[in-house]
Amino acid sequence: MVAITTLAIFLLVAAGLHFLNKASLQKAAIGGVAMAVAFALPHLWFTTETDGYLPLFTIVLCAVYALFALGLNIVVGFAGLLDLGYVAFFLVGAYVGAWFMSDFAVNVSKHTLTMNFHFLDAASHKIPGIHLSFWIVIVIAGIVAAFAGVVIGAPTLRLKSDYLALVTLGFGEILPEVFRNSDQLPGNLNLTNGTKGIGPVDRVGMGFLHIIPGIPKTIVSSDYRTKYYVILVFCGLFVWVSVKLRDGRLGRAWMAIREDELAASLMGVPLMRTKLWSYAVGAVAGGVGGAFYATIVGTVNVDTFTFSFSIIVLCAVILGGMGNVWGAILGAVVITWFNYTGLTWIGAKINNAAGTKFNFINLQFGLFGLVLVLMMLFRPEGFIPAARSKQVKKAEQQTLANLEVGE
Amino acid sequence: MTSIDVTHPASRAAGRDPMLTVDDIHVYYGNIAAVKGISLTVFPGEIVTLIGGNGAGKSTTMRTISGLLKPKRGEVHFEGKRISGLKGHEVAERGIAQSPEGRRIFGRMTVTENLELGAFLRRDKGAIAADMDRVFELFPRLKERLVQKAGTLSGGEQQMLAMGRALMAEPRLLLLDEPSMGLAPVLVESVFETIKKVNEQGTTVLLVEQNALVALNIANHAYVLETGRIILEGPAKELAHNDEVRKAYLGED
């Protein structure tokens, strides 16, 4: 079944790319293979439930981080605004998920003790609290995150490059602290449950989709395969949105700002509005990913939202190739795999071979730093450079070659 | 302030309303005054030039007109409406396009994409295509480089692109900031030929130049700036023969 579907996806995508987008055969084939592999991944022989070098949980996280990287790529890659506080949108999305898909509402204040609101959800109606359908929550999370993007962006986007980076970093640090301490607000109001976190988060209901064979009515917590497909759909959607925006009027405006803000303004590009759009659209991915993350892990704990998250997603974008949609995905997959499985797996191999007991996890950030430095030295444009930087580099090399011949 | 008053405002206006009036603007970078009370007028159809050495305040005046800088005092009016205080993109919406100092083309975009961005505010696809043809007529070199990244063009080609990009906005007033900067003399000549041609096709031009000789050659009216003030103004032909100008800016003894 999976094999047949995979083959069908490959043929459809390859043919579609070739005929509809007039891509070369080679490109169409690569696209088809990538899509087919993405689809078949959780069913391949080397994927395992929990351990080994490709456990299902890691695959799901790879896809979630790919969504985050796609979002940050719009801000950093397309519009050229260095954002070191992407964790803020992840946090907002996760808390929206937790608020609207758990019994937490009864803890908010003494007036909400009996709150019991259910709407198209997959939870038992005996559980109090607010329980909305996951699909509605995802939309709310996207909207709230976009709103947060505009709120954070409006005062900060007036700043240039380094200053912007510093202020976004500040916001990324402040927001988790605010949420950590919003459990005992005046009037005995508890909005975030502080360090205790919020959980359990409801399961994802598949609604009418479950009439399709193979799709369950609700996704149980160990069903990583279905979770993976859900997030894959969101990744696909966001790829489509990214590409459409990039090639449209807004994308051109972003690129103009990235290249030269002053010149863009002279061409009539409204700087503030255009930058805010990039923040808002980028934040949507963070919010959606955050809400989905809440359902995968089951509880939302404020300790999850650290500065290192922002850096990891930024690394993914830089590693993959700033401004390239496919690069961002590849970068995210590579980084996430190393982060959650690769390091321990490779470390165990090395320890076994050498008879040592070295803890490679402790080296995590040192290794990431090293990788980034090496990338900057040997391949600064990333794994898959954006098409335009590739061409400029080629032209530069030609000019250099011409100069050398001239001498 | 030495001033030979060769202006006859009434005759220059010839019954026309001014297109652009800059009225006693003072512009500061922090605490430092770069422009200390400049007033100037551009009438429709003219080429007006601001000449002067480094630090005279020419580019600051241009940036103030195009909304990148805010004057501390004074006002700028375009076609009877106040534009000082508007943002850069709002000034562009009014019909003023600028080819900025240092060209500032979008280096990692193709020539075509650069020109398309010039037309960012326009939605009339057919007219945009026609204007692109017009730009290629003015600068045939650009047509040979359509898909090339702008960052890989030569200096002269980049200047052409910067001007072409500004023209794509279909401006009523074209601001050109140092179009001769960094160009070989033979190219300077052809760029100025083109400016004249653009003007003859109906675009009013305000031109900032260090190369006073060529600027005075094509302009109708000229202002001479020094340390943030206008020290001289008059018809370009007359200024070109003014001893003081020749001494200071044309390198004659």
pLDDT at position A314: 93
pLDDT tens-digit profile of A84-110? 999 999 999 999 999 999 999 998 888
A80/A18 same-domain check: no
- Residue A18's SS3 state is helix
Task: Report the DSSP pairing between strands B96-99 and B173-177.
Answer: parallel
The pair of three-digit structure tokens given for residue A326, joined into one six-digit string = 């496919």
Contacts of A385 in chain B (CB under 8 A): none
A157/A301 same-domain check: yes
A259/A329 same-domain check: yes
Question: pLDDT band for position A269 (50/70/90)?
Answer: very high
A27/A131 same-domain check: no
Phi first, then psi: give them for residue A224, nearest 5 degrees: -70, -25
The domains of chain B are located at 1-95+174-190+207-253, 104-171
Question: Is 0.95 exceeded by the ipTM?
Answer: no
- Residue B77's SS3 state is strand
In a domain, A26, yes or no: yes
pLDDT tens-digit profile of A48-65? 777 778 899 999 999 999
A337/A291 same-domain check: yes
pLDDT at position A407: 37
Question: pLDDT band for position B130 (50/70/90)?
Answer: very high
A41/A133 same-domain check: no
B49-86 residues labelled b (16+ CB within 10 A) or e (exposed): bbbbeeebbbbbbbbbbbbbbebeebebbbbeeebbeb
Please judge whether A255 and B106 are an interchain contact, meaning their C-beta atoms are less than 8 angstroms apart.
yes
pLDDT tens-digit profile of A243-265? 999 999 999 999 999 999 999 99
Mean pLDDT of the region B15-25: 93
All residues at 6 or more sequence positions from A248 whose CB lies less than 8 Å from its CB, including other chains = none
Cα A71 to Cα A254, A319, A324, distances in angstroms:
14, 15, 12
In a domain, A134, yes or no: yes
Number of structural domains chain A divides into: 2
Nearest residue of B to residue A257 by CA position? B106
pLDDT tens-digit profile of A331-361? 999 999 988 898 888 888 889 998 888 888 8
pLDDT at position B218: 94
Nearest residue of A to residue B102 by CA position? A263
In a domain, A320, yes or no: yes
Please judge whether A252 and B117 are an interchain contact, meaning their C-beta atoms are less than 8 angstroms apart.
yes
In a domain, A50, yes or no: no
A177/A236 same-domain check: yes
Question: pLDDT band for position B250 (50/70/90)?
Answer: low
Please judge whether B66 and A267 are an interchain contact, meaning their C-beta atoms are less than 8 angstroms apart.
no
Q: Does B92 touch chain A (CB under 8 A)?
A: yes
pLDDT tops 80 at residue A392: no
Return the CATH architecture of domain B1-95+174-190+207-253. Answer: 3-Layer(aba) Sandwich (3.40)
Instruction: Give percent helix, percent strand, percent coil of chain A, each to the nearest 5.
Output: 70, 5, 25
pLDDT tops 90 at residue B115: yes
B221 compared with A371, residue with greater pLDDT: B221
How long is chain B?
253
pLDDT at position A406: 42
pLDDT tens-digit profile of B186-197? 889 989 999 999
Q: How far is B165 from chain A (nearest CA, A)?
A: 8
pLDDT tens-digit profile of A171-186? 999 999 999 999 989 8
pLDDT at position B3: 46
Contacts of A265 in chain B (CB under 8 A): 67-68, 87-89, 92
Please judge whether B88 and A266 are an interchain contact, meaning their C-beta atoms are less than 8 angstroms apart.
yes
Q: Do A195 and A180 form a contact (C-beta atoms < 8 A)?
A: yes
- Residue B231's SS3 state is strand
Cα B144 to Cα A156, A201, B112, B161, distances in angstroms:
42, 61, 11, 12
Instruction: Tell me which residue in B118, B120, B152 faces A253 most closely, judged by beta carbons.
Output: B120
pLDDT tens-digit profile of A188-244? 889 999 999 998 999 998 888 888 888 888 888 889 999 999 999 999 999 999 999
Instruction: Tell me which residue in B87, B104, B118 faces A260 most closely, judged by beta carbons.
Output: B104
Question: pLDDT band for position A137 (50/70/90)?
Answer: very high
| A331: region left, alpha or beta (phi > 0 left; psi from -120 to 50 alpha) | alpha
pLDDT at position A41: 87
Instruction: Tell me which residue in A252, A255, A388 faces B149 most closely, judged by beta carbons.
Output: A388
A171/A30 same-domain check: no
> pTM for this one?
0.89
pLDDT at position A402: 55
pLDDT tens-digit profile of B27-60? 999 999 999 999 999 999 999 999 988 889 999 9
pLDDT at position A361: 81
The pair of three-digit structure tokens given for residue A401, joined into one six-digit string = 């070659």
Q: Does B102 touch chain A (CB under 8 A)?
A: no
Instruction: Tell me which residue in B100, B109, B152 faces A266 most closely, judged by beta carbons.
Output: B100
In a domain, A340, yes or no: yes
pLDDT at position B4: 45
Contacts of B87 in chain A (CB under 8 A): 265, 270-271
Average pLDDT, chain B: 90
> What is the extent of the structural domain holding A120?
55-406
Mean pLDDT of the region A276-296: 96
A265/A317 same-domain check: yes
All residues at 6 or more sequence positions from A369 whose CB lies less than 8 Å from its CB, including other chains = none
pLDDT at position A395: 60
Q: How far is A6 from chain B (nearest CA, A)?
A: 37
pLDDT at position B2: 44
Instruction: Tell me which residue in A259, A266, A399 faces B108 most closely, judged by beta carbons.
Output: A259
The pair of three-digit structure tokens given for residue A177, joined into one six-digit string = 């602290």
Average pLDDT, chain A: 88
pLDDT at position B233: 93
Question: pLDDT band for position B6 (50/70/90)?
Answer: very low
